[in-house]
Structure 1
Amino acid sequence: MSLWLWLLTACLLGYAWKLVGYLVPASLLRNPRMSRVAGTMTIGLLASLTIVNAMASGQSLALDARIGALVAAAVALLLRAPFLVVVLAGAGAAAGLRLLGWS
């Protein structure tokens, strides 16, 4: 199968999944358990996107300054730093590692 066919299939499935959301009864959405599941799914999606963007370059794995930035930001989060400090820690770590030649 060609890449374009897979891409169109993924687009159609994503659109169909959004349309299915309109068919969910409102009583199900008011359930506290469903709210908790939806919140957890959001966290999982964000985590997976972060890892893919930090470790992938094209179709291969890349261990570069982005990993150091992710680690620095994670440490700042563990220390309960404000969001701006987390971003600056990640950016500073990436800049420092690239300055040291760890592309």
Structure 2
Amino acid sequence: MSALGVSVAIVVFACGTYALRVSGVLLRARVALSAGALASLDRSIVCLLVAVALTSMLFDGNDFGGPARVVGVSAGAIAAWFKAPLVAVVFVAAGVTALLRLSGIA
């Protein structure tokens, strides 16, 4: 694909994204959702975020990310579960992953 084609695709996607965001703001004032629908939307957002996190944790491109990454992210998740500060969660995840990779577990 040429540079012009890539540039056009980026502009089209940017305009589409902006249009979706603006339509959400404008429609929010006109459309009333029930409490059940709002709860379903909240759950679907959580499911989407968990799915993205799991695929990022388990895969590196098309290949398995390795057991060290899985254990490190799991250790970070446990630290987050216990309400550790974000910096501590990142250091726990990175530290566990680094120690496992240093010990030969890739």
TM-score interval (norm. to shorter): 0.5 to 0.7
Unaligned runs of 5+ in 1: 1-7
Deviation (angstroms), 1:61: 2.9
Backbone CA RMSD of aligned residues: 3.1
Q: Corresponding residue for 2:91?
A: 88
The structure-2 alpha-carbon separation of the partners of 1:29 and 1:63, relative to structure 1 and needing over 3 Å to count, comes to farther
TM-score by length of 1: 0.63
Deviation (angstroms), 1:42: 2.2
Q: Percent identity?
A: 24
The structure-2 alpha-carbon separation of the partners of 1:25 and 1:76, relative to structure 1 and needing over 3 Å to count, comes to closer
Task: Return the index of the structure with the highest Cα Rg.
Answer: 2
**Structure 1 segments (4+ residues) deviating >2 Å:** 21-42, 57-64
TM-score by length of 2: 0.62
Matched, 1:22 2:23: yes
The structure-2 alpha-carbon separation of the partners of 1:38 and 1:98, relative to structure 1 and needing over 3 Å to count, comes to same
Q: How many residues align?
A: 91
